[in-house]
Structure 1
């Protein structure tokens, strides 16, 4: 029996999802997108998990869409138009599920993250990259502008830098990605797993309800004008303050003791 293309391992309130088609550089094939959607749906309903790590096996984190699969779709009577529209719509759906998940999602990136693979990194809430990792939205090099990856990329890095990457197809290294804000930090390759797990453990140790409230509010307010964002965020804090465990957390801080969270 073949290994699953996407695996999940839970430990210490953290779920690790692993893209597991190394022979295809963990490409976002139709099957991989379906597997990710299923996994995200399960996580959305799972209140035992407080953080998620997304990683890949083999030489690369993710090399984007499966070009061989895409080319095969051209055999359809419409030349593949319907298949392409469906592919990009399903990919967009999966990418948008990440910020909507109640748990923070951390990309653990190594090797390369290209095109839709770079989009996947940009869609995650946080990212840690190994030294030597390369990032690119390089579709333009083969005549396919990375328009859907552009959506996530341009919401992560400065506009002119994103446009240069998109129009030149030039790769950037991990340290440039950190400087631009695409990843949170760069670590030696041998420390990638431990550093990512340490970040996930730090997040998972917080009051889950507060983090869930905060993540949802983060993405909601960032789309609002400043005055509306403050009004919205103020009510979010009121709602957060009314939680029993928030009361307990504040009391514990004032009493200099560990909170007794339910």
Structure 2
């Protein structure tokens, strides 16, 4: 499965995971999902990694599930259940990963590929990128993709994508909150890695605290969310890096992170 995914970590703490099966439109076959899940597990345990860039080789970011694989297993409910459960597991791995994840989107991201973009913490797309949840067009509603989609864009925008299956362009994706920025293709890498480098320069401990709290509080009632985040901040402020960061700010010097 090593040919399905490439992983590169540079000296600045940025890990790049690249879907590497362009001849199959980087589809999320069961093997691809297993490879991506394994890579995410490795990254989670890598203290040298501060931020992750999720990229793809070729002209398609990800075309979703491998429909030929699905058709070949029409007779096996067990296979279909394993496939969609593994996909759901990988999407949750991204959300629960200690490091922030930035989707670098060039080309088309459809169905579970759109789900992959929505599951990342940030997304930057080239201006020619397009997005869709077109399962309704082939009789297979994008039920698992809608979990991530509906948590990133408003209900009506999500329902429009899910019910029509229509493709939207990058500018529309930015307007509805599916991606953060849209840039010219020649600026895609510069933009993505500038953001990644900015994040990588922060305390890894602080990033983990903040990312974890962000997703947890989203599902809470307002009063519970404030109670929870007040406790998070109180715990955060007594950590080494918060003490160092506050002192460095007051002393007008650069902080020296220990990532704890």
TM-score bin (small chain): over 0.9
Structure-2 residue corresponding to 1:107: 103
Aligned to 1:50: 50
Map 1:1-262 to 2 at 5 A.
4-11=3-10, 12-74=12-74, 79-262=75-258
The worse-fitting range, judged by mean Cα deviation, of 240-249 and 128-137 is 240-249
Residue 3 (structure 1) shift: 6.8
Q: Distance in 1 between matches of 2:24 and 2:205?
A: 38
> Does the CA contact (< 8 Å) of 2:26 and 2:63 recur in 1?
yes
Taking the aligned partners of 1:8 and 1:92, their CA distance within structure 2 comes to 22
C-alpha separation between the residues in 2 aligned to 1:56 and 1:82? Answer: 29
What runs of 5+ residues in structure 1 fail to find an aligned partner?
Answer: none
- TM-score normalised by the chain length of structure 2: 0.97
How far apart, in 1, do the equivalents of 2:125 and 2:32 lie?
22
Equivalent position SS for 1:61: strand
TM-score between both structures, scaled by the size of structure 1 = 0.96
TM-superposed deviation, 1:261 = 2.2
1:208, CA displacement in angstroms? 1.0
Any runs of at least 4 consecutive aligned residues in structure 1 with deviations exceeding 4 A, and if so which?
A: none
> What is the distance in 2 between the residues matched to 1:145 and 1:248?
50
| Secondary structure, counterpart of 2:9 in structure 1 | strand
Q: Take 1:260 and 1:207, find their aligned partners in 2: how far apart are those partners? A: 9
Number of corresponding residues = 257
SS of residue paired to 1:52: strand
Q: Distance in 2 between matches of 1:228 and 1:180?
A: 28
In structure 2, what is the Cα distance between the partners aligned to 1:128 and 1:144?
28
